[in-house]
Structures are given as structure tokens and as C-alpha cells.
Amino acid sequence: MNGSRASTEDHGTGSATRTCPFVFRPVRESDLAALTDLVGRIADGLTSLPEHPDFLEKKIHESLRSFYPKITTPGPERYLFVLEDTATGKVVGTSGLIARVGGFDPFYTYEIRTEHQVYPPLGIDARTRVLHLKKSHKGPSEISSLFLHPDHRRTGWGKTLSLARFLFMRQRPERFEDTVIAELRGYIGPDGKSPFWEAVGSPFFRKDYYTADILSGLGEKAFIEALMPRHPVYVCLLPEAARSVIGLVHPETLAARRLLEREGFRTTNEVDIFDAGPLLKAEVRTLRTVRAARTAVVNVGQPPHPDLPRNGIVANTALDFRAVAARLPEDDRPEVVLTPDEADLLGVVTGDTVTYALFRPTG
């Protein structure tokens, strides 16, 4: 749930001689060592990708199985993608998709409800926020596991890492629910602690925030059901430090939140049970990238304006999904010009069909 700060500038570190420095693709078995090294650089950890080689290997195999071609309905599939630096072969970013949350492992959130308390004789008319534990077994799809190496932020490739997933969902609607959510990391203080966890979780779990969060990321969910408070939590009874961070995001997640909100995600009345980070939701068909996406025929050559910034994403239409940032036409055209490098990374040739979307709407 880490955010990636990005612009439309193109400064791929170490890839200046390539016309296309990075490619977005499904994770491979051979990526294990690079993936382990990458997640080890994540400040405060990433629940869905803890720094645990055996677990990461399991996640890779889980993703490989998810691309089975005969899947026709969303189930337990968990797709993991990486952003590869084509000059070095290193993995510099990750992002993921969960076909449907819940299933065998319940999906927990705190639902924020408002209780209206009225007593006219004393002139009392108050509304109180209350946290109710919510457990889902057949939830929506979810985007997850977003992280971009710090050396490659502010390069424009963070947009590709995040938004390319929506092109995959558009191409394979049968594999996903109609609704998609995003759980964003909650606020963590300068001391490395979660104020919400210290007030709500720690007294019951008797473990630090990161231990509980990583256990959940490893799929150990039984402890949540056994130890979470069984009664609603009245927000007014919490210390101010905990109350004030409900629905706030981690400082490094602000850019990711803004990007998702521009796509059409909206805040819900649910938050994470550990750090009270917000849960955003959208209908897949209404996402900006999904609505703006077009199909076109490939023409391999040199773009007419090679010095312009890469202004959008282009993807192949194969189940072995690939996407790159490219220089795309601002208007709706039946043809997209790709450099030989870009075409090679996508696995396409002149005459093939691709899907593309601009980073920003035109007009």
C-alpha cells in the first residue's frame, strides 16, 4: 500500500540508451531474489509482501497459478506484477490485484457508523462515531502491493506501475468483480508507531503493530477473530492521538491516494483494523483509465515526436500481460507507433492489436 510519487517526466535510472527503460509484466520464479531485495527496502514494511523469502516464493507461485487460461469467474486468484528495469534486469517495483477478497481467509475492516443520541429534557442532541468489526467472505476485487523503489520515483513510471493493472482488468472482466477496493496504509508517527494500534489493538493482541500486521499479511487470520474486541468501539472513548488518525494515510501514501482519487476511487465508511487507514472503492467500469482506454493497431517505427514525454500506457492483449509507458496520440486514432524496443517488450509486431490509455484526459 505504499504510494509512488510520479510525474510524466522520463528519467529511467541506468537506462538512458534504451528507448523503453521499463516494462510492466507478471512476476516470474526467477524474480525471487530481486523481489526479496526490493521489499527489504520498504520503510515500515508492506503487509501483502513481507520480507520473508519463503512467503514471497509462495506469492510468486500463487500468482503464476492465477494466470491459468480457463478461469472464467473471480475467485482466490492473486496476480502479482513487477516493473523491470530492462537495462539491468532488476525488479524496481511491484503492484498486485486480488480477484476477490474474503473466501477462505476472511477480510476484516472497521465500519464507522454514527449513533444519534437525543434527550430533549437536557438539551442533548449528539452524534457519536462507533467502530463495528466487519467480516467479509465474498468481497470485491482489490488492488494491492504497490511499491516503487525510491531511486525511481518522480520518473513517471509509478503511474505505469499503478494504472497498468486497470488495463488488465478491462481486458479480462470475467476474472474480477464489478467493484474494486484499495486499502491504504494508515498514519504512522515519527516514532514508527501507529497511534490507532496503540489504543485499540495493542491492549488485546499484546503484540507490536508490525508483528500483527505481518502475521495478517502471511495469511494468519485466526488470531484476529480470537483477539479482536467483540463489542463496538466508541471513538469518543479513545485518546485524541488515536481519534485524529482514523482515515488518515501514511505520508508516503499521499501520492498514491491522489492518483486513485483521480481515477474515480472514493472514500468509504470503512478503515483498516490495525492502523485505521482508509478503504477506497470504485466500480471498475467507471475508472478513468478503463473508460479512456482504446484499442489500436501497432505500427513499429519511430514516433513522430520522440522528444516528447511519455504520456500514457500501452499494453498487449495477451494473458501474458505486458505494458510500457509510451508516446501516444492525443486524439482517438486507429494506429499506435511503437519503437522496436517497445514492441519487443510487449511481444507485438506491426499489425497486432494493443490497448492504450493516456495518463491524463485530453480536452
Q: Are 298 and 329 in contact (CB under 8 A)?
A: no
The number of beta carbons lying within 10 Å of the beta carbon of residue 54 is 8
Across the chain, how many H-helices and E-strands are there? 11, 15
231 in active site:
no
**What is the CA 340 to chain-centroid distance, rounded?**
30
Cell numbers that stand for 247 in this block:
482515515
Q: Considering only CA atoms, which of 242, 248, 251 is closest in space to residue 201?
A: 242
Farthest CA pair distance, the chain: 80
The number of beta carbons lying within 10 Å of the beta carbon of residue 162 is 26
Is the four-CA dihedral 201, 203, 206, 210 of positive or negative sign? positive
Q: What angle do CA 349, 355, 357 make, to 5 degrees?
A: 130
**What is the CA 12 to chain-centroid distance, rounded?**
22
Residue among 11, 152, 250, 305 flagged as catalytic: 250
Distance in angstroms (rounded) separating the CA atoms of residues 275 and 193: 9
Distance in angstroms (rounded) separating the CA atoms of residues 100 and 89: 31
Q: Considering only CA atoms, which of 81, 107, 108 is closest in space to residue 92?
A: 81
Active site residues: 250
